[in-house]
Amino acid sequence: MVQLLGLTILSAFITAILLVPFIDFLYRIKFQRQNQTTKDAFNKRTPIFDKFNAWKVGTPVGGGLLIIVVVTVLTLWADGLLGVNIEPWTLTVILIGFVGFGALGFYDDIKKLSGGKNSFFGLRLRHKFIIQWILALIIALILYTQLGYSFIFIRGIGLVALGILSVPLAAFVIVAFANAANITDGLDGLASGLFLICLVAFLGITSSQIDQSLGIFVAILMGAVGSFLYFNIYKARLWLGDVGSMSLGATLAIIGLLTGKTLALAVIGGVFVLEIGSSLLQMLSKKFRGKKLFPASPFHLLLQYKGWDEPKIVMRAWLLGFFFAVLGLYIALVR
């Protein structure tokens, strides 16, 4: 545990040093939100979101890119250095999710910032969704065929074998969390603060298991996200962007799957589940009922619509995330 905490401190220190010049670099290349209008999954305007976020135009996007680079380099450097080698296939699935979903999110960021004028940006929503599923299925197949993850832990029962059904379940969890994180990243510090809480919980879980190699990655990622959060809290100097939110969301799901604590993952990431659940219900209501179920979605936007200030929503979401994390740890550790 001491070595893992040392890696967290090292990662936080390196990320903190690089963040200011990285922010300056994003300003120089104008990698910033350029307009006050956004569109939803149905390619329709989102006036409620724009009303509360118009003042954020000009804030640099893409902080997740620095997190991906720093964490990937440090993980590869630390692998083997501490005498606890990360199992090759474990490292493979982590990096496929971490870098692969990050690349897809980076594509989205460039498309948004360019206005989609370049012909290169021809992928539609369904195409990107298919790519997400392809990446997730590759990861799920490796988990099943190479690492033997074909079970789910249920408190009070123990390990329940799922067989080949574990593949679509794992893929669904990865895709769901990638999109849940993307949806949650709408307020300054909201998603990154919740990620940090979840990572602390999973560091506790990995430390309690015999194979602690996964803890190396979790510890490094925790440090990088912590330093990023300093610049992401209200009023943010830098946003995760889709490159960060999709990457971290998918990676959180993979960490949960690798620990064998899928149900605990759903609880520890309970706020992310709440956010995507509210958005999904809203989308289904629009599609099948022709009208909204809520005045606004996801849940954090509904609270803004009701008159809650942004910092109040974020801090109370962190508090809720803390209680979810404690409950998830209880589920994961008590047999």
Strand, coil or helix: what is 99?
Answer: helix
User: Has this prediction a pTM greater than 0.75?
Assistant: yes
Q: Measured at the alpha carbon of residue 298, what is the angle toward residues 249 and 203, in degrees to the nearest 5?
A: 30
d(CA 176, CA 275): 11
Residue 119 pLDDT: 39
C-alpha dihedral (60, 20, 178, 203), degrees to nearest 10: -160
Residue 227 token pair: 């330093």
Q: Which residues contact 211 (CB under 8 A, 6 or more apart)?
A: 87
Q: Distance between CA atoms of 192 and 86, rounded to whole angstroms?
A: 25
* Phi, psi angle pair for 155, to nearest 5°: -60, 135
- 113 C-beta neighbours (distance < 10 Å), count: 18
Give residue 52's Cα distance to chain centre. 23
239 DSSP β-pair partners? 61
Q: What is the pLDDT of residue 313?
A: 96
Q: What is the pLDDT along the chain (335 residues), one digit of tens a residue?
A: 778 889 999 999 999 999 999 999 999 988 877 665 565 544 556 667 667 777 677 789 999 999 999 999 999 988 767 666 778 899 999 999 999 999 999 988 887 776 555 434 455 777 888 999 999 999 999 999 999 888 887 766 767 788 899 999 999 999 999 999 999 998 999 999 999 999 999 999 988 776 678 889 999 999 999 999 999 999 899 999 999 999 999 999 999 999 988 899 999 999 999 999 999 998 888 888 888 888 888 999 999 999 899 999 999 999 999 999 999 999 888 76
